[in-house]
Amino acid sequence: MKENEYGKTIAEGDEVVLYLDRRRTYLVKVKAGKDFHTHKGFIRLGDLVGKTFGDRIESSTGTPFTILKPSLTDFALKFPRLTQIMYPKDIGLILAYTGIGPGWRVVEAGVGSGVLTAFLANAVRPSGRVYGYEVNERFLQNAKRNLERVGLLDYVEWRLRDVGQGILERNIDLVVLDLATPWLFVQKAWEALKPSGHFVSFSPTINQVERTVDSLRKEGFIDLEAVECILRSFKVKAGETRPETIMVGHTGYLVFARKASKGDLRGKSS
């Protein structure tokens, strides 16, 4: 994400979004001599050179595509995926509920395809760091490539390691667990966090939420909140406005908590 590039002229090697409509957007790299094929004809990628973002380009069949500068979100949703990814609606809750910002030191386990990692890295840069734990080496390599592509590699340190073996960092501002059994690692999270630091876990099932919340209570976390964002998209047109007929009904639940000191009062709060 190099800054202030929106107004510039498009050059060889740039990545751009070709936008036809909301469901048909393509992330392509500008390359002279190469064609990009769509069901609406092909686009000569060399013809993009010299245009500016927001301009339109016609395919071989005369269909206009708009050229957009890819946002982090555009990139992340097009990342090569080896795992289920976390969706922007849920990432947004993490960003806004924790108040994460530049300078934060964050532990994320597991990294998966790196979508959340990218948003966390974007939020903590330039002075913060994301420590990305992942036990699957192939996932980790893919995530690295994804973060490199969006220019955020400098803000992540990778850990090919099971968090069950312990988190190496201390005085962490935020621990995010996006793995199958977050309740097993609540104690590890507690050890890594600063007092008053933030815990977040993401889980598809309500049972995972129950077990995680139970662990958090036992471990002395407070300010527990379990939430779900049901996102509705609308078809908007004067006189015909209505929610979309088919929607994603569920991605997962988020659990938030804060680290409290242990002591003889432990467990009394909820």
| CB contact at 8 A, 102 and 126 | yes
**What is the distance between the alpha carbons of residues 123 and 101, in angstroms, rounded to a whole number?**
5
Residue type, 45: L
Answer yes or no whether residue 137 interacts with a copy of itself by CB under 8 A: no
Kindly give the interhelix angle for 115-124 and 88-98, rounded to the nearest 10 degrees: 30
The torsion defined by the Cα of 205, 207, 210 and 211, in degrees rounded to 10, comes to -110
Answer yes or no whether residue 39 interacts with a copy of itself by CB under 8 A: no
Answer yes or no whether residue 129 interacts with a copy of itself by CB under 8 A: no
Residues 6+ apart with CB under 8 A from 55: 66, 67
The stretch among 38-46, 129-137, 141-149, 261-269 that binds a copy of itself (CB under 8 A) is 261-269
The helix (run of H) or strand (run of E) holding residue 89 is helix 88-98
The stretch among 34-42, 106-114, 141-149, 247-255 that binds a copy of itself (CB under 8 A) is 247-255
Question: For a copy of itself, which residue of 13, 50, 80, 99 counts as binding (CB under 8 A)?
Answer: 99
Q: Which residues between 171 and 210 bind a copy of itself (CB under 8 A)?
A: 171, 173, 194-198, 204-207, 209-210
**What is the distance between the alpha carbons of residues 101 and 175, in angstroms, rounded to a whole number?**
14
Answer yes or no whether residue 21 interacts with a copy of itself by CB under 8 A: yes
The stretch among 26-34, 41-49, 129-137, 242-250 that binds a copy of itself (CB under 8 A) is 242-250
Question: For a copy of itself, which residue of 36, 79, 104, 199 counts as binding (CB under 8 A)?
Answer: 104
Shorter beta-carbon distance to a copy of itself: residue 32 or 248: 248
